[in-house]
Amino acid sequence: MKVVFVLILAIAVFGAGGYYTYKLFVKPQQELLADKALPPLPPPPDPSLPDFDRCVQLQQSADLIGARSAFADFIERNPDSTKLGDARERLGVINSYILLSNYPAPEKESYVVQKGDVISRVAVKMRSTPELILKANDLHGVMLRIGQRLTVAPADFSLVIDRKDQKVVVLDKAKFFKQYRFAIAAPEKSHPLTAPTRKAAPAPHPPKIAARVTEVISLFNGQRVTPFDKDKGQAYAEADRWIEIAPAGHSLYTDRSSDAGKPTNKPPGGGYGLPPDAMDELAAMLHKSTTVVIE
């Protein structure tokens, strides 16, 4: 009888111990593994999506001034939105189209040509650039007539060259205007017999540099051209652009690495290459003394 009692007691003790061991240690581990096996939970819905959709609807309705204002407001109010990058891209396209065309906008001023006026002189008076005046008025010649009314877009921009994200950001009175990505050259191929090297530690991010534009240059077949050169309109349209920046080594230039057979001409000291269409826009927008921050 005692033996039976001892056996029953042992079973009870070890059974209880096994039960609590399972309860305290085994089951939580099983539940943790089961949770890990489940697909990740979908992210919570982005509350900014309805606002973004309204901005897109304005853009699609061809109300570019309204869309511009809506996207700018969206970017300021929704810095963590999943649509922030898309909003910046759309706002940049709208901004450059309004600036570089005859599309009417409140910031564009009217100027009546006076005796002795030339486009470069009007540009200085109105804080603009000759290229912007030509584009905003759809002018195909540079001769002005006394009494002619011009629409002049201001050119009060600054630049941020972001070396880490490889882009150039244009600011209009410290607010986002447009961004341009660096042209990415094809990566160099390693020799098949070259042994792989250990991956180097990431270099520390260099400090910010305060800089400025010193000259905007257009080059065609090694020769400088301007929109005012007679019989060279096509040459100017196809020219490479250099935006020289001081200190040296940070200039912007037209990168034609994606165009087969067209060499890329880099300014002395080098810098950062951008696609041709990006450089064409920047060359029209910027002028000497434009402030630049290199990050």
pLDDT confidence of residue 229: 79
pLDDT confidence of residue 15: 57
pLDDT confidence of residue 187: 44
pTM of the model: 0.78
Instruction: Read off the pLDDT band of 91 (50, 70, 90).
Output: very high
> Looking at the predicted structure, is the pLDDT value of residue 275 above 60?
yes
What are 182-211's pLDDT values in tens digits? 997 544 444 444 445 555 666 677 789 999
pLDDT confidence of residue 206: 79
pLDDT confidence of residue 190: 44
> Looking at the predicted structure, is the pLDDT value of residue 163 above 70?
yes
Report d(CA 166, CA 133) in Å as an integer: 30
Report d(CA 161, CA 28) in Å as an integer: 52
pLDDT confidence of residue 27: 66
> Looking at the predicted structure, is the pLDDT value of residue 166 above 80?
yes
What are 224-251's pLDDT values in tens digits? 998 887 776 688 888 999 999 999 999 9
What's the Cα-to-Cα distance from 294 to each of 37, 216, 234, rounded to whole Å? 46, 18, 33
Say whether 96 sits in a helix, a strand or coil: helix
For all residues of the chain together, what is the average pLDDT?
85
Report d(CA 257, CA 255) in Å as an integer: 6
Output the 3-class SS for 36-76.
Answer: HHCCCCCCCCCCCHHHHHHHHHHHHCCCHHHHHHHHHHHHH
> Looking at the predicted structure, is the pLDDT value of residue 134 above 70?
yes
What are 12-68's pLDDT values in tens digits? 555 555 566 666 666 667 666 666 676 776 777 889 999 999 999 999 999 999 999
- Percentage, residues of the chain above pLDDT 70: 78
Among 49, 50, 66, which residue's Cα sits nearest to residue 58?
Answer: 66
